[in-house]
Amino acid sequence: MKLKHAKSWYNRRARKIHEHELRRKRRRKAHAKTGSRSSQYSVSQRLNENIRKDQYSEIEAPIDFSIHRNAEKVLEFYESIEKQVQQGKPVFFRMENIHSFSADSIMYFLAFTRNLRKRGLSYSFRGDVPRDAKNRNLLEQTGFLSYVKSKRSDSITRSTEVVEIKEGSQTSGEVAKSFCDFVQAKLGYTLLKTRPLYEAIIELMSNTKHHAYADDNKEQIVKHWYIFARYEEDKERVRFVFLDTGFGIPATIQVRQGEQVRRMLAKLGLTSANDHFLIKSALDGEFRTRTRETHRGKGLPSVYKLSQKDYFQNFTVVSRKGFMAADMNRDMNKALNGSLFFWEMSKEERDNEKNH
Amino acid sequence: MRKTISIARDFSETPGGRYRKDGPDSGEEFREDVLIPNFKDISSGDRLTIDLDGGYGYPVSFLEEAFGGLARHYGSKIVLERLAFIANEEPSIVEQIKEYIQDAT
């Protein structure tokens, strides 16, 4: 009797193990079709968590997923996502086909989700990561996976080649210092030679606080800045991205009468907004501060001067429809909600006395 | 009597932005908590020396609010008469500060 009972227990147990294995195999097969489970992530706010995979609207990220190189396409991508969110639909970001990538588009994503939350919109996002190893590594290096739910986030080793995305709402000497320390370690700059970098980062943070957002904040925008840096060993340079997602420089500086007329005409589609001109004017230090206090408005021009002295190279500003770079100033057909600053520092320029 | 304040040693190695509300170690905080308490004791003929060596950097907003702000309070002439500066590492910063003091309105 005892033996008979033991036999049936073993049979039941064997069947259970077999069924479990079958289920596991089926799951693996399904994941192989949709991309490995560990290479996916999700982030959601208040939308029903039990959404089936086939309910997600899939939106393909541009092949060049970089705001400073391909602003219009990236902004179009985010515009499509926002439309889906407004209709209460969950979204799947298809990023596996990205050929090139830069951190600015991911910083914009973080700011974008925070602003959706602030506006009380519910959303559910899922996505995959670039298939290409170089781009996948860069995505992981930004620290992006620590902002979303992902099985990979625990297993990622922190890279020493980047300063992960940092964000804040106040000026932070400690954050600015960490970027200076990074440049000293990677490019061999002395503390004295990173002083202009320190000062620029603090000015950009201050600018976020004072000018990037209207005082009443009716638009319900999260008043944050985001900053990231990456060392490129082969080119012996460090690339920086600084982003705030406020109203943007053209919308927050003092505009003159003629410019106001032009802005109204631009809204009607009768002329271009001329935002690149307003950005250049603000950076050149023409009296543009909304506070109308003559001792204010010195921050942005002091940052721009560093690019004119070649201390910063490839300095680029994108704000609203304005795009301003050393070799090209133009208005885009899409608007960036905020201001993006991009620049590089190189070992080559380290000992150049004229830029200090 | 000659008194010296080192910003890096006596205040912060990482000065911040313009106002207290902007974040820690702002120009306003330095002016109100360090500069004015020392400056108000300086009598005519004496000087308060500000040592700008050391530290990670001096943002424009910090300097303008600290020294331009002092000049808006006491007047440019008195501030220029009673302040002296040490800036061996970056001498050009002294001219910059003097400009903020002169232009303070």
Determine the Cα–Cα distance for residues A133 and A150; give it in Å rounded to an integer.
18
Determine the Cα–Cα distance for residues A93 and A95; give it in Å rounded to an integer.
6
CA A175 to the chain's CA centroid:
17
- pLDDT higher than 90, residue A316: yes
- SS (HEC) of A177-220: HHHHHHHHHHHCCCCHHHHHHHHHHHHHHHHHHHCCCCCCCCCC
**What's the CA angle centered on A16, arms A15 and A19, to 5 degrees?**
85
Asked if B60 contacts A289 with a C-beta cutoff of 8 angstroms, the reply is: no
Radius of gyration of chain B (CA): 12
Q: How does residue A35 score in pLDDT terms, banded at 50, 70 and 90? A: very low
Give mean pLDDT, residues A34-62: 73
**What is the strand order of the sheet A149-150 is part of?**
A57-60, A91-94, A123-128, A40-45, A149-150
Residue spans of beta strands (DSSP E) within B1-105: 2-6, 47-51, 83-86
SS3 label, residue A166: strand
Q: How far is CA A147 from CA A42, A92, A111, A232, in A?
A: 10, 16, 11, 24
Residues of A in contact with B26 (CB under 8 A): 171
CA atoms within 13 A on the CB side of A20: 6
- pLDDT higher than 80, residue A2: no
SS3 label, residue A353: helix
Tokens of A88: 């209460």
Give mean pLDDT, residues A267-281: 75
Q: How does residue A261 score in pLDDT terms, banded at 50, 70 and 90? A: low
Residues B14, A209: C-beta atoms closer than 8 Å: no
Residues of B in contact with A190 (CB under 8 A): none
Asked if A124 contacts A118 with a C-beta cutoff of 8 angstroms, the reply is: no
SS3 label, residue A225: strand
Mean pLDDT of chain A: 83
Asked if A68 contacts A322 with a C-beta cutoff of 8 angstroms, the reply is: no
**What is the strand order of the sheet B83-86 is part of?**
B2-6, B47-51, B83-86
Spell out the residues 6+ positions from residue B79 whose beta carbon is closer than 8 angstroms to its own: B39, B67, B70, B71, B101
To test the contact with chain B by mutation, choose from A177, A224, A295, A296 the residue with the greatest count of B C-beta atoms within 10 A, namely A295
- Distance from the B45 Cα atom to the nearest Cα atom in chain A, whole angstroms: 28
Tokens of A78: 């985010």
Residues B56, A176: C-beta atoms closer than 8 Å: yes
Partner residue opposite B18 with nearest CB, options A180, A198, A206: A206
The 10 Å CB-count burial string (b at 16+, else e) for A296-316 is bbbbbbbbbbbbeeebbbebb
Q: If 0-12 CB within 10 Å is exposed, 13-18 middle and 19+ buried, where does residue A328 land?
A: exposed
Q: What is the pLDDT along chain B (105 residues), one digit of tens a residue?
A: 578 999 999 999 999 999 999 999 999 999 999 999 999 988 888 999 999 999 999 999 999 999 999 999 999 999 999 999 999 999 999 999 999 999 987
Mean pLDDT of chain B: 95
Residues A299, B24: C-beta atoms closer than 8 Å: no
Residues of B in contact with A298 (CB under 8 A): 60-61, 64
Residues B57, A210: C-beta atoms closer than 8 Å: no
Q: Tens digit of pLDDT for each residue in A140-171? A: 889 888 888 776 655 666 788 999 999 999 99
Tokens 């070649």 locate to A310
Determine the Cα–Cα distance for residues A165 and A145; give it in Å rounded to an integer.
11
- Say which DSSP state A255 is in: P
- pLDDT higher than 90, residue A226: yes
Say which amino acid occupies B16: G
SS3 label, residue A41: strand
Determine the Cα–Cα distance for residues A247 and A275; give it in Å rounded to an integer.
12
Asked if B72 contacts A263 with a C-beta cutoff of 8 angstroms, the reply is: no
Determine the Cα–Cα distance for residues A107 and A141; give it in Å rounded to an integer.
12
Determine the Cα–Cα distance for residues A204 and A171; give it in Å rounded to an integer.
9
Closest CA to B64 of B17, B100, B30, B103: B100
- SS (HEC) of A46-103: ECCCCCCHHHCEEEECCCEECHHHHHHHHHHHHHHHHHHHHCCCCEEEECCCCCEECH
Residues of B in contact with A196 (CB under 8 A): 57
Residues of B in contact with A189 (CB under 8 A): none
Say which amino acid occupies A257: Q
SS3 label, residue A310: coil
What's the complex ipTM? 0.96
